[in-house]
């Protein structure tokens, strides 16, 4: 599942950004951020990144197009203006079942991890339960700061 950092950003303040994956289940978002950390190795000069996946309704792709392409039943929407203070990367994740035109409007919110690091030379699947629990604990505030921007949660 290689991830490509696109060069163009293309978002304006009124653009809608859609979060899926339960849109508000904190534990699921933290687990996904941990699970995918190493997939971001090398992007923006980082060893990895804790992220949240979102899609923007831009470039001829509507919110409904995004929702139809994703299997999740819940979602939330925010404007880019509400997300402007967050670190947002225009990313394309290859090798997924998501149609290319939808993946072309994929972005990742990089969680403010407060300098949380994975121990040098270690991979998340190899961490002890104690180390993993500590990473989860440290990431919860970042997730808790972002998810309310996508309220209210809605059903498809």
On whether the CB atoms of residues 91 and 2 are closer than 8 A, the answer is no
Omega prior to 152 cis, within 30 of 0: yes
Distances (CA, A) of 134 to 47, 127, 130, 150: 19, 10, 6, 26
Alpha carbons 54 and 114: distance in angstroms, whole number: 21
How much is the pLDDT for 8? 85
How much is the pLDDT for 24? 58
Q: Give the closest residue to 34 by CA, choosing from 103, 122, 146.
A: 122
How much is the pLDDT for 23? 52
How much is the pLDDT for 85? 94
This prediction's pTM: 0.91
Q: Which residues of the chain have pLDDT under 70?
A: 1, 21-24
What tokens does 87 get? 């670190």
How much is the pLDDT for 10? 85
Alpha carbons 4 and 29: distance in angstroms, whole number: 21
How much is the pLDDT for 122? 86
């Amino acid at each position: 599942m290689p991830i490509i950092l696109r060069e163009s950003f293309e978002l304006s303040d009124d653009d809608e950004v859609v979060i899926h994956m339960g849109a508000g289940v904190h534990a699921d978002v933290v687990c996904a951020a941990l699970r995918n950390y190493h997939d971001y190795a090398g992007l923006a000069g980082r060893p990895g990144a804790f992220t949240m996946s979102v899609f923007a309704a831009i470039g001829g792709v509507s919110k409904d197009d995004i929702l139809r392409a994703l299997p999740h039943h819940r979602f939330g929407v925010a404007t880019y203006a509400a997300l402007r203070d967050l670190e947002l990367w225009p990313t394309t994740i290859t090798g997924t079942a998501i149609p290319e035109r939808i993946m072309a409007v994929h972005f990742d919110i990089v969680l403010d991890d407060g300098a949380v690091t994975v121990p040098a030379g270690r991979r998340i699947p190899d961490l002890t339960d104690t180390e993993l629990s500590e990473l989860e604990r440290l990431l919860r505030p970042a997730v808790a700061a972002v998810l309310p921007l996508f309220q209210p949660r809605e059903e498809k």
